[in-house]
């Protein structure tokens, strides 16, 4: 991409293949075209790029209530308190990276304690997804080149001439001369990177979201006060939702502090709701994570995910017991451990034990499918099954003894074989695969579920090795 | 060690069995089974093929049928003689007439009515009160011809189930017999079995779930293995031979009985055919019968007499005469053949000498195979 | 059963203080066991503990089914909190606890398990709340007991450790109303090869306002009920009661 710089065109962006052929950002366009014969050149569209970046920032709100564009080519998110809802920092970064890749966007990501450090690491780290453990930001920053400090290129060049190469060099030197020579920005960038100076993120506001806001003439800080106003805001928001016939599935509560820092709290529900009490409870649980600092000036409550909600939702079945409001409990638990960690199990019509269960949403309606009664199943299932050593005789007989986790047990009683065939329509190896399951009991009375992979006669049916799959009560 | 598999379902049990009779008998021969009984559901459709396959492989075939009654009871029945076979056929006819197309509605009382000479084997589920009731019925109705099948399911508590069933049978003085409830001839056919189950249930393999056959190992097993699988019930395995010995009926005993011909009373069918033939000759050869044609006719009439086909040709003749009287165009097809005798008796208009001795070639001497008459009539002609 | 006057008074005060519910206790339906428990059954609106004996201290299979059998006989949904997701749902159905009733909560650590346990116990309308934890301090158990009292649900803490050596922790006192240990015993003998009905050694190790006792029982049936095996019942005329030790 080329764009004007002064009175000539320079390269503003180049893809991987162009760069591998020597094209550099800032290079005059004519030089670039001379370097690579079939170079495809397009006019840069800074406005369009900026709009796209903003849209991307709005998309990033699904990960955290505090997300913003960091022009020209970055996004910044404050994921404090939000990463566990996505399975932890690593899982969350992988998810972001994956989704962007699916949309054709190559991204480099970094998480650390400060905006400045993350900015730097995202651009210079060898890892495409860099995670700095809490508290280790300083030591990681030390070795970062000064070009990652968000200073303009001339300043960087001058600093280099003076012999400053990495951030630790700048940290080591006295500040007064730096400020004298380059102005206050250099030291400010250092302080921001190391977390000594605040750098608030102005969260992007998604359009068309139902939200309510309150500005405090006198900043508030006491928890009781926060709770009281929270209750009022929730009431107002639910009224606004009702007017539009909507229910909230996700709510973001943003606190604007006196020092411009934004603290955020996010909750989700399994079903759309306008229940003031329930939502106040969910949000209230999280208030303790909020640090009021010198005081809170504004509170903004937005229903960032809303769905149509009709006034009457009653249980139609007369035979079902009226369910206590388990939905509320499910939400509280889901917000604590993560939505995918609260579930029920449903029966799957499969003979293969590890496939016989499927996780479903905790609030899902009960299905009629059942597991076959009368075929004893173990209370604990080991996934994957653990290999055991056995002394076994004939195909239709259980082993005489087996060794599991180093302990040898004599088989006193056994039932079986229960022959489970592979599901031939799922994978070719399962065309002939067979597992012969045995329920075995040792001398002490401990009961186990073991199987032989194969029918004991035909080698094609399995490895003929034995495994322990479950423990009976 | 001798073993007969008395419970085989062929693919004539539509969308249940997955192997043909030929495959079943061929495989039985390779693994040393003494004989097979094909027991299709409420049907004797498979026994003709089975009979032929048995002849080819040298393995004995026992005629049988599985009756699925409306109250849920299932039993395998084997006729011990020809009269019992006739009764079985009538029983099935009663059921099918009642049930309509592709259905068969039978009740216990029907079975009792037509049950003389039949050996009946109860197919049990669990050893519960229902089973006890059915055993009692069976014992009362069939006496020493009553048995109960013991089949391994390869599911939990199999041995206990067999034990309980065996005890229950002893209580009612019913003998047990081991079967493997065979649905296909060798293990790999299981996949096709799953597919036909899907078709029967109108679903796909991904969704058929537990409607697939729940009991494993439904293929032919050699005698040694059956012996090994029933260590506490060797007598049940031996009883397969006992039942096979009691069922002496074979399809060979059946001779086709044509309906009586009424057109010429006092004459046997052969005599009637000869009369028609020589009568037709006069019309055909007014100037006298050539020697070669006479030779052919003699030869054929002798063949027809030996094979007993006269009634068949008389029937064809009647059909053709009726068709002609209505000006319907007709032509014999396939094994209906057009030997000179037929031609001369007025059925066809072609000259007999042109036809070669196709009749000899097309009449196998196997009594079980009879020529089928498929005369096509042109419907256009009929409309005219 | 021996009770001091103070104990009596305490129980009466407790009963007055507790909100009224249909039943105070869930009986096992076995005379010997119900007789050993104050109220004639497992106290409702209270916290109970159970651990596996022998290898069961680590895998907790019998302990899980014991808890499931109890939960099956309550009404309403059941919450089951844990860190290790190795419970096989079909086995719960086989003791009468249908899959539709159980909500599982997979937590990252014991601390979260206890928090969710408490959350569930506070919630009105659940039948039972089960949690699998290794450590259970007196303080934590008091909170749980109070939470159970407010809602009237049965709380069952399945104690389960990573190593057998840690199981000695079960000796530490907690505020649970009863404490049980379930150990697998050889199954009922059969006349043919096979595994008969499972049997357990069920020990009531500690019982508030009661004495310890132990029983040999047949594992839960399809409705979650325990039974006394026939051959054991013939030999017993009275339950084997031991003086309280733990």
A324: contact with C, CB 8 A cutoff = yes
Give CA–CA dist C89/A354, Å, rounded: 11
Instruction: Tell me which chain A residue has its CA closest to the CA of residue C220.
Output: A473
Taking only the tens place, the pLDDT of each residue in A250-300 is 999 999 999 888 888 889 888 888 889 889 989 998 888 888 888 999 999
For C105, the closest of A342, A415, A471 (CB atoms) is A342
Would the CB atoms of C59 and A473 count as touching at under 8 Å?
no
Interface contact A372-B214, CB threshold 8 A: yes
Which among A374, A378, A375, A388 has a CA at the least distance from the CA of A449?
A: A378
Q: Provide the residue ranges of all domains of chain A, joining segments of one domain with +.
A: 2-44, 47-194, 210-308, 380-471
Contacts with A, B 46-85, CB within 8 Å: none
**Average pLDDT score over residue span C40-55:** 93
**A111-131: b (≥16 Cβ within 10 Å) or e:** bbbbbbbbbbbbbebeeebbb
**CB contact B231 to A (< 8 Å):** no
The parent domain of residue C228 ranges over: 20-186+195-245
Distance CA(B168)–CA(B109), nearest Å, equals: 23
Domain count, chain C: 1
pLDDT at site B169: 95
* C234 pLDDT tier (thresholds 50, 70, 90): low
pLDDT at B297: 86
Q: Cβ contact (<8 Å) for B157 and A415?
A: yes
**Contact criterion met (CB below 8 Å) for C97 and C70:** no
pLDDT at B261: 62
Q: Which of residues 428-447 of A touch C (CB under 8 A)?
A: 439-441, 443-447
Residues in chain B with CB shorter than 8 Å from the CB of A456 are none
> Which CATH class, in words, describes the domain spanning A2-44?
alpha beta
Chains that touch C (3 or more CB pairs under 8 A): A, B
* Plot region of A199 (φ>0 → left; ψ -120 to 50 → alpha; else → beta): beta
Whether residue C7 is contained in a domain is answered as no
Give contacts of A 362-401 with C, CB under 8 A. 362, 366-367, 370-371, 373, 376-383
- Bin C81: left if φ > 0, else alpha if -120 < ψ < 50, else beta: beta
Residue C14 lies in a domain: no
Domains of chain B: 4-253 (3.20.20.140), 269-383 (no CATH)
**Does the residue C15 lie in any domain?**
no
Of residues A13 and C66, which shows the higher confidence score?
C66
Subunits close to B (at least 3 CB pairs below 8 A) = A, C
| Whole-structure pTM value | 0.73
Out of 3.10.129.10, 3.30.1490.100, 3.40.50.12780, 3.40.50.2000, which CATH number does the structure's domain A210-308 have?
A: 3.30.1490.100
Tell me the HSE value of A178 on the side-chain side, using a 13 A CA sphere.
20
DSSP for B179-225, written as a single string = ---BSBSSGGGHHHHHHHHHHHHT--TTT-GGGS--S---B---HHH
Is residue C1 in some structural domain?
Answer: no
Residue of B nearest to C193 (CA): B159
Using a 10 angstrom Cβ sphere, with 0-12 exposed, 13-18 middle and 19 or more buried, the burial of residue C81 is buried
Mutate to test the interface with C, among A324, A340, A342, A471 (most CBs of C within 10 A): A471
Distance from CA of C54 to the nearest CA of A (A): 9
Which DSSP letter does residue A145 get?
B
Which residues in A lie closer than 8 A to residue C78 (C-beta atoms)?
none
Name the residue facing B156 among A418, A421, A431 (closest C-beta): A418
More confident residue, C109 or B255: C109
Q: Within a domain: residue C213?
A: yes
The confidence score (pLDDT) of residue C67 equals: 97
Q: Could you say which DSSP state residue C223 is in? A: T
Average pLDDT across each block of 10 residues of chain A; the chain has 473 residues. List them in order: 81 82 83 82 84 87 87 87 77 89 87 90 87 87 88 88 88 87 88 87 84 91 91 93 89 90 87 88 87 90 87 48 71 88 92 91 81 89 94 83 94 92 87 91 95 86 92 94
Long-range Cβ contact pairs of C241-245 (< 8 A, separation 24 or more): C241/C36, C241/C211, C241/C212, C241/C213, C242/C211, C242/C212, C242/C213, C242/C214, C243/C211, C243/C212, C244/C206, C244/C207, C244/C211, C244/C212, C245/C212
Query: Once rounded to an integer, what is the mean pLDDT over residues C50-68?
Result: 94
Handedness of CA B201, B206, B211, B214 (dihedral sign): positive
On whether the CB atoms of residues A423 and A442 are closer than 8 A, the answer is: no
| Predicted local distance difference test score (pLDDT) of residue B13 | 84
Nearest CA in chain C to B161: C192
- Distance, in Å, from the CA atom of C47 to the CA atom of C53, rounded to the nearest integer, reads 20
Please answer yes or no on whether A424 and B159 come within 8 Å at the CB atom: no
Q: Compute the count of residue pairs across chains A and B with CB atoms less than 8 Å apart.
A: 37
A441–C66 CB contact, under 8 Å: no
**Which chain C residue's Cα is nearest to A371?**
C90
Query: What CATH number did the domain enclosing C119 receive?
Result: 3.40.50.300
pLDDT tens, residue order, chain B (384 aa): 899 999 999 988 888 889 999 999 999 999 999 999 999 999 998 899 999 999 999 999 999 999 999 999 999 999 999 999 999 999 999 999 998 888 899 999 999 999 999 999 999 999 999 999 999 999 999 999 999 999 999 889 999 999 999 999 999 999 999 999 999 998 888 889 999 999 999 999 988 888 888 787 899 999 999 999 999 999 999 999 999 999 988 888 776 666 666 667 777 878 888 888 888 888 878 887 788 888 888 888 888 888 877 878 888 888 888 888 888 877 655 544 445 455 544 444 444 433 333 333 333 343 334 444 444 443 333 333
Q: Contact at 8 Å (CB) between A19 and A39?
A: no
Over 70: is that where the pLDDT of C17 sits? no
Task: Say if A2-44 and A210-308 have the same CATH topology.
Answer: no
**Partners of residue A324 in chain C, C-beta under 8 Å:** 76-77, 123-126
Mean per-residue pLDDT, C70-83: 95
Chain-chain contact of A326 with C193 (C-beta, under 8 angstroms): no
Domain assignment of residue C99, yes or no: yes
């Amino acid at each position: 991409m080329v764009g004007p710089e002064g009175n000539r065109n320079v390269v503003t962006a180049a893809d991987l293949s162009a760069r591998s052929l020597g094209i550099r950002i800032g290079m005059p366009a004519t030089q670039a075209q001379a370097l690579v014969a079939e170079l495809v050149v397009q006019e840069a569209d800074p406005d369009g790029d900026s709009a796209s970046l903003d849209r991307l920032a709005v998309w990033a709100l699904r990960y955290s209530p505090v997300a913003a564009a960091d022009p020209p080519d970055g996004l910044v998110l404050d994921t404090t308190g939000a990463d566990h809802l996505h399975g932890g920092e690593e899982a969350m970064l992988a998810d972001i990276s994956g989704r962007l890749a699916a949309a054709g966007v190559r991204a480099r990501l970094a998480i650390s304690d400060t905006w400045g450090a993350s900015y730097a690491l995202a651009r210079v780290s060898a890892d495409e997804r860099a995670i700095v453990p809490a508290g280790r930001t300083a030591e990681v920053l030390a070795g970062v080149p000064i070009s990652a400090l968000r200073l303009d290129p001339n300043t960087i060049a001058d600093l280099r001439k003076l012999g400053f190469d990495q951030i630790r060099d700048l940290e080591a030197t006295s500040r007064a001369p730096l400020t004298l020579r380059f102005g206050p920005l250099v030291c400010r960038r250092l302080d921001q990177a190391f977390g000594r100076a605040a750098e608030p993120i102005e969260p992007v506001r998604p359009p068309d979201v139902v939200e309510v806001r309150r500005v405090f003439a006198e900043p508030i800080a006491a928890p009781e006060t926060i709770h009281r106003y929270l209750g009022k805001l929730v009431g107002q928001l639910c009224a606004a939702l009702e007017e539009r016939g909507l229910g909230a599935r996700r709510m973001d509560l943003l606190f604007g502090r006196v020092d411009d820092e934004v603290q955020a709290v996010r909750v989700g529900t399994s079903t759309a709701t306008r229940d003031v009490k329930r939502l106040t409870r969910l949000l209230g649980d999280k208030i303790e994570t909020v640090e009021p600092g010198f005081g809170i000036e504004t509170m903004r409550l937005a229903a960032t995910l809303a769905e149509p909600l009709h006034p009457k939702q009653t249980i139609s079945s007369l035979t079902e017991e009226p369910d206590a409001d388990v939905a509320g409990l499910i939400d509280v638990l889901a917000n604590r451990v993560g939505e995918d960690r609260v579930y029920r199990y449903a029966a799957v019509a499969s003979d293969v034990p590890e496939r016989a269960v499927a996780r479903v949403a905790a609030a899902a309606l009960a299905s009629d499918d059942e597991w076959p009664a009368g075929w004893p199943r173990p209370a604990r299932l080991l996934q994957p099954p653990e290999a055991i050593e056995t002394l076994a005789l004939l195909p239709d007989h259980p082993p005489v003894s087996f060794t599991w986790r180093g302990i040898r047990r004599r088989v006193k009683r056994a039932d079986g074989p229960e022959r489970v065939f592979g599901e031939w329509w799922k994978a070719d190896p399962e065309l002939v695969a067979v597992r012969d399951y045995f329920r075995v009991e040792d001398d002490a009375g401990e009961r186990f579920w073991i199987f032989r992979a194969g029918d004991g006669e035909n080698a094609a049916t399995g490895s003929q090795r034995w495994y322990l799959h479950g423990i009976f009560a | 060690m001798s073993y007969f598999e008395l419970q085989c379902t062929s693919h004539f049990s539509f969308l249940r069995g997955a192997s043909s009779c030929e495959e079943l008998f061929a495989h039985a021969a390779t693994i040393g089974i003494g004989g097979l009984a094909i027991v299709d559901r409420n049907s004797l459709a498979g026994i003709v093929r089975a009979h032929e396959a048995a002849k080819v492989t040298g393995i004995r075939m026992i005629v049988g049928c599985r009756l699925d009654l409306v109250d849920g009871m299932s039993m395998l029945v084997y006729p011990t003689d020809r009269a019992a076979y006739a009764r079985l056929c009538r029983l099935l006819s009663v059921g099918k007439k009642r049930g309509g197309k592709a259905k068969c509605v039978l009740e216990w009382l029907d079975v009792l009515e037509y049950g003389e000479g039949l050996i009946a084997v109860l197919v049990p589920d669990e050893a519960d009160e229902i089973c006890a009731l059915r055993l009692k019925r069976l014992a009362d109705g069939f006496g020493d011809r009553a048995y109960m099948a013991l089949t391994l399911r390869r599911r939990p508590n199999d041995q206990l189930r067999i034990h309980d069933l065996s005890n229950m049978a002893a209580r009612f003085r019913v003998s047990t017999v081991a079967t493997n409830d065979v649905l296909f001839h060798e293990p790999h056919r299981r996949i096709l079995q799953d597919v036909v189950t899907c078709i029967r249930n109108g679903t796909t393999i991904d969704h058929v779930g537990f409607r697939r056959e729940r009991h494993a190992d439904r293929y032919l097993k050699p005698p040694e293995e059956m012996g090994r699988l029933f260590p506490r019930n060797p007598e049940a395995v031996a009883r397969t031979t006992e039942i096979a010995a009691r069922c002496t009926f074979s399809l060979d005993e059946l001779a086709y009985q044509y309906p009586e011909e009424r057109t010429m009373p006092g004459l046997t069918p052969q005599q009637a055919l000869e009369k028609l033939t020589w009568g037709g000759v006069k019309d055909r050869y007014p100037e006298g019968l050539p020697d070669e044609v006479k030779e052919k006719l003699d030869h054929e009439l002798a063949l027809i007499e030996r094979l007993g086909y006269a009634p068949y040709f008389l029937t064809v003749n009647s059909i053709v005469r009726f068709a002609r009287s209505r000006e319907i165009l007709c032509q014999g097809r396939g094994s209906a053949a057009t030997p000179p005798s037929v031609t001369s008796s007025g059925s066809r208009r072609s000259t007999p000498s042109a036809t070669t001795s196709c009749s000899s070639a097309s009449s196998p001497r196997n009594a079980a195979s009879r020529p089928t008459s498929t005369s096509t009539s042109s419907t256009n002609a009929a409309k005219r | 059963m021996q009770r001091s006057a103070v104990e009596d008074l305490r129980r009466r005060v407790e009963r007055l203080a507790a909100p009224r519910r249909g039943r105070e206790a869930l009986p096992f339906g076995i005379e010997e066991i119900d007789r050993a428990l104050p109220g004639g059954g497992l106290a409702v609106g209270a916290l109970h503990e159970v651990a596996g004996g022998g290898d069961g201290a680590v895998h907790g299979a019998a302990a899980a089914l014991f808890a499931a059998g109890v939960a099956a006989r309550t009404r309403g949904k059941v919450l089951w909190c844990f860190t290790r997701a190795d419970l096989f749902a079909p086995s719960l159905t086989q003791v009468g606890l249908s899959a539709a009733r159980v909500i599982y909560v997979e937590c990252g650590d014991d601390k979260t398990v206890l928090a969710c346990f408490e959350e569930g116990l506070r919630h009105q309308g659940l039948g039972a709340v089960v949690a699998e934890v290794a450590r259970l301090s007196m303080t934590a158990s008091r909170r749980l007991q109070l939470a159970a009292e407010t809602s009237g649900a049965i709380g069952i803490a399945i104690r389960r450790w990573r190593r057998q050596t840690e199981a000695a922790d079960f000796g530490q006192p907690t505020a649970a109303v009863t404490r049980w240990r379930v150990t697998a015993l050889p199954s009922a003998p059969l006349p043919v090869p096979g595994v008969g009905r499972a049997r357990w050694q069920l020990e009531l190790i500690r019982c508030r306002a009661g004495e310890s006792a132990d029983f040999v029982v047949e594992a839960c049936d399809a409705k979650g009920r325990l039974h006394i095996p026939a051959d054991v019942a013939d030999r017993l005329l009275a339950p084997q009661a031991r003086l309280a030790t733990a």
